[in-house]
């Protein structure tokens, strides 16, 4: 048995014993789960399904089909984009916060499955020509929270679909995008992200369809920046998938 298989076996045994000491709790609200529940309790699961069905106020499509985002519509750098839900209600903020700030493998798996459903539903892809990419967490954020949820999501989506994952992006930035406007976000993204080894990256990305994933898309600045780097390394097209998107209510996003 190799080292990876041994570690996997050990973590399964640990998980098995832990459920007796610490009964499983809902990954969002923390309520104790019933025997038939999965990652979320019945109430949270219902709320999540409602989130996915909510309509965009501008185009009346649900998040997975809504493509209202001015910056992304004006650039060919991202050929298509889709999100599982709108990032607006208290619940959607809570579920994203749980994904970003609490290290929960079960929630990562749950969201990877959701991304996969969107991927199959929206994109008719030849999977053998695809590669998954993600914006890695910044070093300061990684230090603070101890894990990279985007990387974990990408790896999980990779193992679900058999699509390889590109790990060549780096993030040296420390400024949080959420406090910045589009222009500052774009500048910050281009200053923060870079490709570790361009020659190596080109070998992996040339002629590929890249499925770029993220937790939330707001202005699209980070996605456009990463997509530009991927195209520079020969990627043929970049399709974007996120768990949630900020609804295009304000003029900023239209
Ligand atoms: Zn719950
Ligand atoms: Zn829309």
Task: Select from 243, 118, 46 the least CA-distant residue to 38.
Answer: 46
How far away, in angstroms, is 49 Cα from ligand 1 center? 13
Looking at the CA of 59, which ligand is closest?
2
CB 186: neighbour CB atoms within 10 A?
19
90 C-alpha vs ligand 1 centroid, how far in Å? 13
Question: Which option is the CATH number for 63-253: 1.10.10.10, 3.30.56.10, 3.40.50.2020, 3.40.50.970?
Answer: 3.40.50.2020
Å from CA of 86 to ligand 2 middle: 10
Tens-digit pLDDT string for the chain (254 aa): 677 788 888 877 776 666 666 778 999 999 998 877 889 999 999 999 999 999 998 999 999 999 888 777 788 899 989 999 999 999 999 999 999 999 999 999 999 999 999 998 877 767 889 999 999 999 889 999 999 999 999 999 999 999 999 999 999 866 666 777 778 888 888 889 999 999 999 999 999 999 999 999 988 889 999 999 999 999 999 999 999 999 876 544 44
Number of H helices and E strands in the chain, helices first, is 10, 6
Distance 101 CA to ligand 2 centre (A): 28
Which two tokens mark 229? 């780097």
Model's pTM, two decimal places?
0.88
Write out the residues surrounding ion ligand 2, Cβ under 5 A: 56, 58-59, 66, 68
Tell me the domain boundaries of the chain: 63-253
| Whole-number Cα distances in Å, 14 to 8, 38, 46, 149, 156 | 10, 18, 30, 21, 20
Question: Ligand 2 centre from 252 Cα, in Å?
Answer: 14
Ligand nearest to the CA of 95: 1
Q: Kindly state the DSSP code that residue 201 receives in the 8-state scheme.
A: H
CB 87 within 8 A of CB 216: yes
């Amino acid at each position: 048995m190799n080292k990876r298989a041994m570690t996997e076996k050990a973590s399964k045994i640990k998980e098995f014993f832990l459920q007796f000491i610490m009964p499983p709790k809902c990954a969002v609200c923390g309520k104790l789960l019933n025997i038939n529940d999965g990652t979320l309790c019945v109430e949270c699961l219902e709320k999540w399904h409602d989130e996915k069905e909510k309509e965009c106020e501008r185009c009346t499509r649900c998040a997975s089909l809504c493509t209202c985002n001015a910056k992304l519509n004006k650039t060919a750098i991202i050929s298509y984009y889709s999100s599982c839900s709108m990032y607006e209600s208290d619940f959607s903020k809570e579920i994203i916060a749980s994904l970003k700030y609490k290290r929960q493998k079960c929630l990562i798996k749950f969201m990877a499955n959701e991304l996969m459903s969107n991927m199959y539903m929206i994109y008719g892809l030849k999977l053998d020509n695809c590669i998954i990419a993600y914006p890695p967490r910044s070093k300061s954020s990684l230090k603070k929270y101890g894990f990279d949820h985007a990387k974990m999501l990408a790896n999980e989506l990779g193992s679900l679909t058999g699509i390889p994952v590109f790990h060549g992006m780096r993030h040296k930035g420390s400024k949080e995008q959420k406090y910045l406007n589009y222009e500052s976000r774009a500048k910050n993204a281009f200053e923060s992200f870079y490709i570790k080894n361009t020659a190596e990256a080109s070998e992996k990305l040339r002629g590929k369809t890249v499925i770029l994933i993220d937790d939330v898309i707001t202005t699209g600045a980070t996605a456009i920046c990463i997509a530009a780097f991927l195209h520079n390394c020969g990627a043929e097209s970049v399709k974007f998938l996120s768990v949630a998107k900020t609804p295009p209510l304000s003029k900023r996003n239209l």
